[in-house]
Amino acid sequence: MDHLVKICGLSTPETLEAALAARADLVGFVRFPKSPRHVSLETGRALSAQAKGRAGRVVLLVDADDAEIDSAIEALDPDMLQLHGSESPERVAFIRRRFGRPVLKALGIATAQDLAAATGYLTSADYLLLDAKPPRQSDALPGGNGLSFDWGLIDSLDRTLPFMLSGGLDPANVAEAIRLTRPDAVDVSSGVESGPGVKDPDRIGAFVKAARAAFAVPAI
């Protein structure tokens, strides 16, 4: 994976256009009704068509069954599936094989033990996404909570697979996050919002610009 910048949770043509104009590499559409960023299949279809050929399109799913995945693929025709639930390595491998799309597996990280679990996905996923583990309250979302984790934990990561850093990133801290962790890609959602699910075009542009500049600095 080249150094990529992903804007996730886009839900309107205007904010998607802002991400595309900023030249984000990947744009993400959330299919999870509990999320303020959830899009219907019809809205997702229109947004995906808008982005086609201009950025990689990612559909985010949470413990989806085969019928849900079929519906999302039929409507959005994504370039990649992001699995953001508790999918096992076996389930990830099945989805990758059954649906023929690259799979980005998200893992919630709070401790070194959480990071060690990433090794189970080295032969079943195409990419890893490391996000902050969600709060323990019952209504917590699996991602998009604006929380970060201890980036120092990544020193012990097996980098067999390319990884995307997520969780608590914003235009002000993404350069430092890249400097410390040297990820293959970065992902942002709430960090470019003015309110839950409300993307800010100026913050989108600032995030992409800051990430690009940081990736251009050679690793020491």
> Which tens digits make up the pLDDT trace of 169-207?
999 999 999 999 999 999 999 999 999 999 999 999 999
Is 220 among the domain residues?
no
Is 172 among the domain residues?
yes
More confident residue, 206 or 140: 206
| Residue whose structure tokens are 């985010």 | 60
More confident residue, 219 or 58: 58
pLDDT at 136 over 80: no
- Range 85-94 average pLDDT: 97
pLDDT at 143 over 90: no
Domain of residue 90 covers 4-215
Whether 8 is catalytic is yes
pLDDT of residue 144: 53
Give the CATH number, domain containing residue 180: 3.20.20.70
7: which strand partners?
27, 188
- Range 76-83 average pLDDT: 98
Q: Are 157 and 137 in contact (CB under 8 A)?
A: no
Is 139 among the domain residues?
yes
Residues of the chain with pLDDT > 90, as a percent, come to 89
Is 150 among the domain residues?
yes
From the candidates 25, 131, 170, 187, give the one annotated as an active-site residue.
131
Number of folded domains in the chain? Answer: 1
More confident residue, 148 or 47: 47
Residues 6+ apart with CB under 8 A from 167: 109, 130, 131, 132, 143, 145, 147, 148, 149
If pLDDT is split at 50, 70 and 90, which confidence band does 138 have?
very low
Neighbours of 150 (CB within 10 A): 12
pLDDT at 135 over 90: no
Amino acid identity of residue 181, one-letter, is: T
Q: Are 81 and 103 in contact (CB under 8 A)?
A: yes
Residues 6+ apart with CB under 8 A from 9: 28, 29, 30, 35, 37, 60, 144, 189, 190, 193, 197, 199
pLDDT at 101 over 70: yes
The mean pLDDT of the chain is: 93
How buried is residue 135: exposed, middle or buried, by Cβ count under 10 Å (0-12/13-18/19+)?
exposed
Is 127 among the domain residues?
yes
- At 218, list the tokens: 């050679």
From the candidates 8, 25, 170, 187, give the one annotated as an active-site residue.
8
Q: Are 159 and 121 in contact (CB under 8 A)?
A: no
pLDDT at 164 over 70: yes
SS3 165: strand
Q: How far apart are CA 137 and CA 96, in angstroms?
A: 31
